[in-house]
Amino acid sequence: MKRSLWAMSICVGLLLAASAPAWAHHAFQAEFDQHKPVKLEGKVTGMEWINPHAWIHIDVQNPDGTVTNWMVECGSPNIMLRRGFTKRSLEVGTEISVQGYQAKNGTMRANGSSVTFADGKKLFVGGSNPDDPNNGKQQ
């Protein structure tokens, strides 16, 4: 009896350890609000090509003339590259329009859906939002 209880405890421990990374990675709904769509227009101030999400930093001019820097979460760098982005696509100063969803806590963070460039080119940047044209399937 003690031996089977010990073996079962080991198995449960291994299962929990294997599923820990899934718990660590947040879902869209955990941090962003589907009912708070945003459209941000401004100039890129930086781009972070880091895992698990790339980030676009963009200065947005407010109606009163002040400027607010937003952080826009994108898919992983690998997903971004497969969707047509390169490390030179979003250089500092590039004017873009970003569609996305604001963070639930009201901070200047958003989960990006798409980026539209000044020439009209539009690319999907999201990794986990409801606008995913691939319905979450890998490309």
> Which among 79, 83, 133, 129 has a CA at the least distance from the CA of 109?
129
In a domain, 111, yes or no: yes
- Residue 120 token pair: 């009209």
In a domain, 130, yes or no: no
Query: Rg of the chain's alpha carbons, rounded to an integer?
Result: 19
**What pTM was computed for the model?**
0.73
CA distance 126 to 96: 15
In a domain, 58, yes or no: yes
Identify the weakest region by mean pLDDT among 20-24, 87-91, 133-137.
20-24
In a domain, 139, yes or no: no
Q: pLDDT per residue over 76-128, tens digit each?
A: 999 889 888 888 888 999 999 999 999 999 999 999 999 999 999 999 987 66
In a domain, 8, yes or no: no
Residue span of the structural domain in which 116 resides: 28-124
Task: Report the pLDDT value the prediction gives residue 8, as an integer from 0 to 100.
Answer: 57
**Average pLDDT of the segment spanning 33-41:** 93
Q: Which residue has the tokens 């969803």?
A: 101
Tally of structural domains, the chain? 1
In a domain, 79, yes or no: yes
In a domain, 21, yes or no: no
Task: Report the pLDDT value the prediction gives residue 127, as an integer from 0 to 100.
Answer: 62
**Strand (E) positions, 7-78?**
32-48, 55-61, 67-73
In a domain, 90, yes or no: yes
**CB–CB of 32/129 below 8 Å?**
yes
* CATH of residue 97: 2.40.50.140
